[in-house]
Amino acid sequence: MANVCLPWSEAISVLHPPVKVGAMTTMLELADKVATEADAYRWLEELRWPYGVQCPHCHGTEVALMVPKNGVSRKTTNGSMTQRRVWQCRPCRKQFSAISGTVMHGTKASVRVWCMVIFQMIGAKNGISAREVSRQHGICPRTAWFMLHRIRETMRTDPLISTMQGIIVADETYVGGTPANRHRSAPGATSKAGRGTEKTPIMSLIHARTGEVRSRVMPTVDSTNVAKVLSEHVNIGGSVLWTDEGSWFKPVGRQFLLHETVNHAQDEYVGPIGQTINRAENYFSQFKRSLDGTFHHVSKEHLQRYVDEFDFRYTTCKASDTERMGVAVRRGDGKRLTYKRVKRFG
């Protein structure tokens, strides 16, 4: 069975199956849970394959654990010892582990560190910086930076797999410095020097009932780009759209079952039938405070991954940290992210 990403309205019942993954809620309990590398692999197996271990190559279930001769660890090709739990698929004869085919594939960092960083990241409302991870877990800043980007990759929502349907709240915001604060060497800059750049627009779509949010970094805010984002993530023909009076929403709004607006220029924030975009504005408020307080500055090239991170946490805010970690691990199945791609802003 291939990896499936279901709508978040079904997440609690389907993506959080009733399996015994423990009622872990604290970092101390997690540290006890993954006391060794073998324990960390075992924990990831429970999260990734809640219905039984499955081969990531052929998706077969006829698999067997390859137990080391000493029952604890085996020697690698370079002569070092590892506690990695290796499985072998009987139909395709390939070997794999809980990190095969995921963002953790080929990692040189400890899997115990991966478990702790993932758990720490999904529960950090304001995010966590690479420097914090480097200092707290004893890894170099570059490794921590790459690790966090790979975790953000698991949080990304694929619009080709599922679309939202229902009442959709849409709004846009702008992230970055003002043109007046551009560096003095930049075109159009004033005499004031600074690191500010042109603001980058971000558009967010929030399901009014389930709270699922999907945000996209946009080149410009116009009717064409707005229609493209909405058509990728929303079943337009079966949904209702709530927006402000922005002119760019009007052309695509005619394709919805109903398009309701609020007029902020007249101090209208909740319309006659209850339409409002307050939820999107609350999300933007939290997102911007976190960017300023935790990361301070995010380049436009990497901004989408940070947006995916905050989308994931906002969408799963009602789930426990253990459930969120399980969803993140399962959504990372089949997602590979190399260091070269990250460095080239891929």
Question: Which residues, 6+ apart, have CB-to-CB distance to 287 below 8 Å?
Answer: 173, 307, 310
pTM: 0.83
- Mean of all residue pLDDT scores within the chain: 85
Q: What is the pLDDT of residues 237-292, one digit of tens each?
A: 999 999 999 999 999 999 999 999 999 989 999 999 999 999 999 999 999 999 99
Are residues 214 and 159 in contact, defined by beta-carbon separation less than 8 angstroms? yes
Q: Which residue has the higher pLDDT, 15 or 143?
A: 143
Q: Determine the Cα–Cα distance for residues 171 and 14; give it in Å rounded to an integer.
A: 29
Q: Is residue 7 predicted with pLDDT exceeding 60?
A: no
Q: Is residue 10 predicted with pLDDT exceeding 90?
A: no
Q: Which residue has the higher pLDDT, 68 or 314?
A: 314
Find the angle CA(291)-CA(293)-CA(296) to the nearest 5 degrees: 60
Q: Determine the Cα–Cα distance for residues 240 and 256; give it in Å rounded to an integer.
A: 6
Where exactly does CATH 3.30.420.10 map onto the chain? 167-315
Cβ atoms < 10 Å from Cβ of 267: 7
Q: What is the pLDDT of residues 203-230, one digit of tens each?
A: 999 999 999 999 999 999 999 999 999 9
Q: Determine the Cα–Cα distance for residues 308 and 155; give it in Å rounded to an integer.
A: 6
Label residue 188 by pLDDT band (50, 70, 90). low
Question: Which of 193-197, 245-249, 330-334 has the lowest average pLDDT?
Answer: 193-197
Joined together, the tokens standing for residue 286 give 């939290």
Q: Determine the Cα–Cα distance for residues 339 and 105; give it in Å rounded to an integer.
A: 12
Question: Which of 27-31, 55-59, 231-235, 339-343 has the lowest average pLDDT?
Answer: 339-343
Label residue 182 by pLDDT band (50, 70, 90). low
Label residue 68 by pLDDT band (50, 70, 90). confident
Q: Determine the Cα–Cα distance for residues 220 and 249; give it in Å rounded to an integer.
A: 13
Q: Which CATH number fits domain 167-315: 3.30.420.10, 3.40.50.300, 3.40.50.720, 3.40.50.970?
A: 3.30.420.10
* AA identity, residue 322: T
Q: Determine the Cα–Cα distance for residues 312 and 215; give it in Å rounded to an integer.
A: 10
Question: Which of 31-40, 50-59, 128-137, 185-194 has the lowest average pLDDT?
Answer: 185-194
Question: Which residues, 6+ apart, have CB-to-CB distance to 23 below 8 Å?
Answer: 322
pLDDT, position 138: 93
Q: Determine the Cα–Cα distance for residues 341 and 229; give it in Å rounded to an integer.
A: 24
Q: Determine the Cα–Cα distance for residues 111 and 105; give it in Å rounded to an integer.
A: 10
Q: Determine the Cα–Cα distance for residues 5 and 163; give it in Å rounded to an integer.
A: 10
Are residues 185 and 173 in contact, defined by beta-carbon separation less than 8 angstroms? no
For the stretch 128-161, what's the b/e string if a residue is b when 16 or more beta carbons lie within 10 angstroms of its beta carbon? bbbebbbeebebeeebbbbbbbbbbbbbbbebee
Question: Which residues, 6+ apart, have CB-to-CB distance to 32 below 8 Å?
Answer: none
Q: Determine the Cα–Cα distance for residues 217 and 201; give it in Å rounded to an integer.
A: 6
Structure-token match 């219905």, residue found: 51
Residue 1 in 3-state DSSP?
coil
Give the range with max mean pLDDT: 79-83, 102-106, 159-163: 102-106
For the stretch 83-111, what's the b/e string if a residue is b when 16 or more beta carbons lie within 10 angstroms of its beta carbon? bbbbbebeeeeeebbbbbbbbbbebebeb
Q: Which residue has the higher pLDDT, 13 or 201?
A: 201
Joined together, the tokens standing for residue 308 give 């995916």
Q: Exposed/middle/buried for 272, CB within 10 Å: 0-12, 13-18, 19+?
A: exposed
Give the CA distances from residue 305 to residues 157, 168, 237, 268, 292, in Å, rounded to whole numbers and listed in that order. 11, 22, 29, 33, 16
Residue 75 in 3-state DSSP?
strand
Give the whole-number percent of the chain exceeding pLDDT 90: 64
Find the angle CA(102)-CA(315)-CA(235) to the nearest 5 degrees: 95
Phi-psi region of 16 (alpha: psi -120 to 50; beta: other; left: phi over 0): beta
